[in-house]
Chain A
Amino acid sequence: MEIKLEKFSKSFGSVKVIEELDLTVGNGEMIALLGPSGCGKTTTLYAICGIHRVSAGRILFGDRDVTALPPQEKNVGVVFQSFALYPHLSIYENIAFPLRIRKEKNADIERKVREISATLYMEHLLERRPGQLSGGQQQRVALARALVRRPDILLMDEPLANLDASLRLEMRTEIRRIQQESGCTSILVTHDQVEAMSMCDRIALMNNGVIQQIGTPDDMYHQPRNKFIAGFIGNPPISFIDGAVENGQFTSQGMSFGLPDNLKKASLTSGQKVSVGIRPEHLQPGSENPVAGEVTFIESQGREILYDLKLGDGQMLRSIQSGARTCKLGDRVTWSINVNAVLFFDAQDERILPA
């Protein structure tokens, strides 16, 4: 089922958290609401499921206006960050709870609970209590409880935040598999870009209650609309260098290079202040478009090595290189920038697009 938010606004008292947010999630699609904490992503989620009242705007499921409906009248499954299992009930009863509330027949309940627990490989857990399960198992129960009544929409609030690293990897694929099998339109709230990029069809990146950009993970990475997005997406993060455009050249005190062809025609005036974003993989050993600096930090990540390069004017660049270590701390090196991949931003932090 399609979810549509039209000019959705939410305020708590006089504090406006979200103003006029528009978002459409296609049928069967999984979208991530990604953003730093406090950006309003959980608020949006709670408004969609009906826990928060909507201050203004509309929420539609398909053609149905559900703006004012209480949570009980929307068929939405929610997985909470803390899982929110009912500690006094067995796992079986936890999963059966939504069905019991609907007064379904015992036989039906039994069948459905068995079915969903088979899908999630947790049939052997049904007799236990939540307190006797590990984090990953509790996560599966929460997912099963959300899915058992075949919801129109599945909402997940930081579902992986309470799991340890290896489980997180496992549950990432698991959740995606279940979502694709059930074909349930889903929204995932997360502050972790890796989660968002690996699990979702599209990402909506939020900051201060505003969606900055919606797009596929690739889009977000290669074509960020502004500096915030470029800085948020990508790990290790992009580095920014402030400078100016002069005579077809980008110049800062520490470095300079000729503008790539596709930007020469863009609306860049000579002397304009700009900021360039250079991702770590676009600064590599080489001689084209050289930049010189001192290596101030080396971090081995196993397959790759991360370097910090301090330029003459004190600004920093990051570089990630595969293969063996080529230099040591304090070395002065000259590396090459892949100019065609450099992102340009104007003084208002908006991206300067190639013409």
Chain B
Amino acid sequence: MEDRKPNWLLTLFLLIISAPILIMYFWLFIDSISEINTDGLWPEHFTLRNWRFLYEDIDGHGNVWKATLNTAIFATSVVSIVVILSSTAGYALSRLRFPYRSQFLGFVLLLHSFPSVTLIISIFLMLRLIGLYDTLVGVILVKAALELPFGIWIMKGFYDTVPWEIEMAGLQDGASRFQVWYKLVLPQIMPGIAALAIFSFMAGWSEFVLPLILVPGSETKLLSVYLAGLMIDDYLSDFGLFKAVGLFYIMPVMIFYLFTQDKLMNIYGGGTKG
């Protein structure tokens, strides 16, 4: 173990430079449980009324739990698709010889460079055409497709660090190519899979543009769209409510991040430890 003595100077320094962020979050929390005086900075009166969206529907904006469930389905589906396809495609690109392999790799990278907004109109038209417009399935497929290039590259990088000899040894020990991948290679890149899953979950949870345009209906609304809907509603200027919903929206990501940040570091470190 390394020296575990707290370094007060360093802690103080980090505290100071992260103070603006911490204060903003703290203020967000305070505001969400107080009456907000619109022309002053200081909150007055404790209230839970801002959190009323949890038990009653806000007029014209649908049910928050429905949106939360949708967002959860959306994010986890994106994670599953991205992880399964990236871990298999990454293996193929790292290990198998097939025609146009390097061109394919370059092409995948090229796909990654398009901001999703530039594609939105054609995607909208395509979804209309195949009847997946305003369905969760449609937007899940689109989001997963846009996340895939990044995922495939990350996974390929992780596979590249697994020595060939391990696979050869596996084949020699009698395992099939699939068994070698599943039993020997995959466990080596678990940190990569974990990191990719977390990344794509957060990307899915925070996605806004795609669901705003592709799933505008009330049955398929996601949390980000729900929040935006509240904020642009001309008849509603309840900042306390906005802040409470905002806090509710970022809570899962923050909790998730708190517990998985060490795994996230792996994606930059690359490869297995120990």
Contact = CB atoms under 8 A, between A and B. Distances in A.
A335 interface: no
A145 B169 CA distance: 10
Given A72-B175, A98-B174, A101-B179, A87 B272 contact: yes
B175 A78 contact: no
A145 B184 CA distance: 15
A249 interface: no
Interface stretch (B57-65, B70-78, B160-168): B160-168
A78 B169 contact: yes
Contacts of B163: 82, 84
Size category, A interface? 20 to 34
Interface in A120-176: 131, 145, 149
Contacts of A88: 187-188
Nearest to B186: A88
B168 A101 contact: no
Nearest to A81: B165
A254 B169 CA distance: 55
Interface string A28-69: 000000000000000000100111000000000000000000
A101 B174 contact: yes
Interface in A246-283: none
Contacts of A85: 169
Contact of B168 (A84, A87, A98, A102): A84
Contacts of B171: 50-51, 70-72
A299 to B, nearest CB: 37
A102 B175 CA distance: 9
Contacts of B274: 87, 131
A327 B169 CA distance: 54
A85 B166 CA distance: 7
B80 interface: no
Which of the listed residues B163, B173, B184 has the most CB atoms from chain A within 10 Å of its own CB?
A: B173
Nearest to B272: A87
Contacts of A71: 168, 171-172
Nearest to A157: B165
A87 B173 contact: no
A87 to B, nearest CB: 7
Contacts of B176: 72
Given A76-B172, A88-B188, A98-B174, A82 B272 contact: no
Interface string A222-239: 000000000000000000
A97 interface: yes
A98 B169 CA distance: 10
Nearest to B166: A84
B238 to A, nearest CB: 53
B262 to A, nearest CB: 18
B184 A102 contact: no
The size class of the interface chain B forms with chain A is 10 to 19
Contacts of B188: 87-88
B169 to A, nearest CB: 4
Interface in A177-213: none
Nearest to A83: B165
A88 B274 CA distance: 10
A86 B172 CA distance: 13
A29 B206 CA distance: 66
Contacts of B174: 72, 98, 101-102, 149
Interface string B136-176: 00000000000000000000000000010110111111111
Scoring A49, A70, A78, A81 by chain B CB atoms within 10 A of each residue's CB, the highest score goes to: A78
Nearest to B184: A86
A84 B171 CA distance: 12
Nearest to A97: B173
Interface string A80-100: 111111111000000001100
A145 B172 CA distance: 10
Contacts of A131: 274
A168 B169 CA distance: 22
A217 interface: no
B187 A84 contact: no
A77 B174 CA distance: 10
B249 to A, nearest CB: 37
Contacts of A50: 171-172
Contacts of A80: 165, 168-169
Interface of B: 163, 165-166, 168-176, 179, 184, 187-188, 272, 274
Given A51-B172, A71-B172, A82-B163, 9 more contacts: A70-B171, A78-B172, A80-B165, A82-B165, A84-B163, A84-B166, A87-B274, A97-B173, A131-B274
Interface of A: 46, 49-51, 70-72, 76-78, 80-88, 97-98, 101-102, 131, 145, 149
Q: Which 3 A-B pairs have the closest CB atoms?
A: A84-B165, A98-B173, A84-B169
9 contacts: A82-B165, A83-B165, A86-B170, A87-B274, A88-B188, A97-B170, A101-B173, A101-B174, A131-B274
